[in-house]
Chains A and B, each alone.
Chain A
Amino acid sequence: MNKKWTTFSVCVLTAASVAGCGAGGTGGAKDESAAGKQVEIQFFQYKPEARGTFDELIKQFEAQNPNIKVVHNNPPDASTVLKTNVARGDVPDVIAIGGDNVYASLAQSGVFADFTGAPELANIQEAYVQMIKDVAGTDNAYAIPYAANANGVIYNKTIFKELNLSVPKTWDEFIAICQKIQAAGKLPFYFTFKDSWTTLPSFNAIAASLQEDRFFEKRKAGQTTFAAGYKEIAEKYLQLMQYGQKDLFGKGYNDGNVAFANGESAMYLQGVWAIPEIKKANPNIELGVFPLPASNDPDQNLLVSGVDLLVTMSASTKHPEEAKKFINFLIRAETSKTYIDQQKSFSAVKGVVQEDASVSDLKPVIEKGAVADFPDHYIPSSMKLDQLLQEAILKKDADGFLKKMDAEWDKAQKR
Chain B
Amino acid sequence: MRSSMKTYYWMVVPAVAIFFVFHTYPVLMGIFYSFTNWNGLSPDYDFVGLRNYLNVFRDGNVLDAYGFTIKFALLTTVIVNTISLVVAMGLNARIRLKNFFRGVYFLPNVLSMLIIGFIFNYLFSNVFPDAFERMGLDSLAFNILGKENTAWIGVVIVTVWQATAFNIMLYLAGLQTIPSDLYEASSLDGAGKWREFWSITFPMIAPFFTINMVLAMKNFLMVFDQIVALTGGGPGKATMSISYLIYTDGFQGGSFAYQSANAVVYFIIIVFISVIQLKFLQRREMDLG
Contact = CB atoms under 8 A, between A and B. Distances in A.
A354 interface: no
Nearest to B52: A415
A48 to B, nearest CB: 17
Interface string B118-140: 00000001100100000000000
A21 B256 CA distance: 23
A106 B252 CA distance: 12
A251 B125 contact: yes
A193 B146 contact: yes
- Counting chain A CB atoms within 10 Å of each CB, the highest count among B3, B10, B235, B240 belongs to B235
A238 to B, nearest CB: 14
B7 A83 contact: no
Interface stretch (A30-38, A59-67, A382-390): A382-390
B41 A111 contact: yes
Nearest to B17: A14
A17 B143 contact: no
Interface string A235-259: 0000000000011111110010000
Given A193-B235, A250-B142, 13 more contacts: A3-B3, A14-B14, A106-B41, A110-B42, A196-B234, A196-B235, A247-B142, A249-B143, A250-B125, A382-B249, A384-B253, A387-B233, A415-B255
Interface in A364-415: 380-382, 384, 387-388, 390-391, 394, 407, 411, 414-415
B22 A80 contact: no
A83 B40 contact: yes
Interface in B212-245: 232-237, 240
A105 interface: yes
Nearest to B149: A394
Interface of A: 3, 6-7, 10, 13-14, 17-18, 21, 79-80, 83-84, 86-87, 105-106, 108-111, 193-196, 246-252, 255, 380-382, 384, 387-388, 390-391, 394, 407, 411, 414-415
B43 interface: yes
A255 B235 contact: no
The list of the 4 closest CB pairs from A to B, nearest first, reads A249-B146, A382-B253, A391-B236, A250-B143
B147 interface: yes
Given A10-B14, A193-B146, A390 B236 contact: yes
A380 B39 CA distance: 12
Contacts of A18: 18
Contact of A194 (B18, B41, B125, B233): B125
Contact of A382 (B43, B125, B141, B254): B254
A10 B129 contact: no
Contacts of A391: 148, 235-237
Given A6-B10, A86-B41, A80 B147 contact: no
Nearest to A111: B41
B115 to A, nearest CB: 15
Interface of B: 3, 6-7, 10-11, 14, 18, 22, 37, 39-43, 55, 59-60, 125-126, 129, 141-143, 145-148, 232-237, 240, 248-249, 251-256, 258
A284 B42 CA distance: 48
Contacts, number: 112
A84 B251 contact: yes
B143 A394 contact: no
Contacts of B143: 194, 247, 249-251
Contacts of B147: 249, 394
A105 B254 contact: yes
B255 A247 contact: no
Given A249-B147, A250-B125, A381 B253 contact: yes
Contact of B39 (A3, A13, A105, A384): A105
Contacts of B234: 196, 387, 390
A195 B249 CA distance: 18
- Counting chain A CB atoms within 10 Å of each CB, the highest count among B18, B40, B129, B252 belongs to B252
- Counting chain B CB atoms within 10 Å of each CB, the highest count among A17, A83, A108 belongs to A83
Contact of B6 (A3, A17, A381): A3
Contacts of B37: 415
